[in-house]
Structure formats: C-alpha cells, structure tokens
Amino acid sequence: MAFENTLMESLGIETVTLDEDRVVMKMPVDRRTLQPAGFLHGGANVALAETAASVGATLNADLEKFNVFGIEINANHIKSKREGTVTATAEPIHKGKKTMVWGIRITDEHDHLICTSRCTIAIVHK
C-alpha cells in the first residue's frame, strides 16, 4: 500500500503488521500529533484507529470491485501522553459483505491503554 502524500505520512504513522485479521500501526507522539496543551490529540488517536481499521478492511476486500470507506468511529481516550510512541492494534469484530466492524486498542510503549475505539467500514461497489 502506498502511504505517501496521505494523512498517514503527515502524522508519521507506520505499519508494523498487515494481516487480514490483525493490523498493527504505530505513531509518534510529537509536534505533529499534540494538542495545544502539549498532550496527544484525541483526533490523532482517532486518525490512527480509523487508519488501522480501514487498512484491515482493505486487506479483506477485492479492491478491483470495491472501495472501502470508514462510516462510523467512536473512541474513548483513557490516558494522556506527552511523548513517545503509541501503537494501534486493530482486529475484526465483524467481517460482512457490505460492512466490517473493527475494534482498535491504542497502547503506549509500556502497554498502557491510551485509547479504545470501534470503527465501522463500508464496502461499496465501484
């Protein structure tokens, strides 16, 4: 997958594991992902979570016939962070023909839960 010139590149998101049933991506907590008070921005967590879920759905879809779009996401921000790295692990809860639902856990380098999220993905005929 090409991630150049995307939000992923802007936020420094990198892939760790790409599998149909598990996607792992990491993101730095730095000037690109902080809110004005100096903590990891909740929107950066959401961007990381939706990216991981969308990539997972893409791995499960026939991209010659379908497009993949996030249609709903929620996030609970559990713990704040000022620096380091966060890692999103996305796993499917439901893989249907028209929708997929992915659960995403975002943890820090000490395996502390930073954010938990659920994302619904639409699988749409081109």
Q: pLDDT value at position 3?
A: 79
pLDDT tens sequence across 41-66: 999 999 999 999 999 999 999 999 99
For residue 7, what is the enclosing H or E element? helix 7-11
Domain count, the chain: 1
59 is a domain residue: yes
1 is a domain residue: no
94 is a domain residue: yes
Evaluate whether 85 touches 42 at the Cβ level (below 8 Å).
no
pLDDT tens sequence across 55-101: 999 999 999 999 999 999 999 999 999 999 999 999 999 999 999 99
Residue 13 sits in a domain of what CATH number?
3.10.129.10
Report the pLDDT averaged over residues 37-43. Answer: 98
* Residue corresponding to tokens 């991506």: 25
Is 4 labeled as catalytic in the residue annotation?
no
Rounded CA gap, 86 and 73, in Å? 18
Q: State the residue range of the domain holding 55.
A: 7-125
What are the tokens at 11? 């936020």
Q: What is the dihedral of CA 71, 30, 115, 117, to 10 degrees?
A: 10
pLDDT tens sequence across 25-36: 999 999 999 999
Show Cβ contacts of residue 30 under 8 Å, excluding neighbours closer than 6 positions. Answer: 12, 83
User: Does the predicted TM-score (pTM) go above 0.75?
Assistant: yes
**What are 117's strand-pairing partners?**
75, 104
Task: Out of 4, 14, 20, 50, pick the active-site residue.
Answer: 50
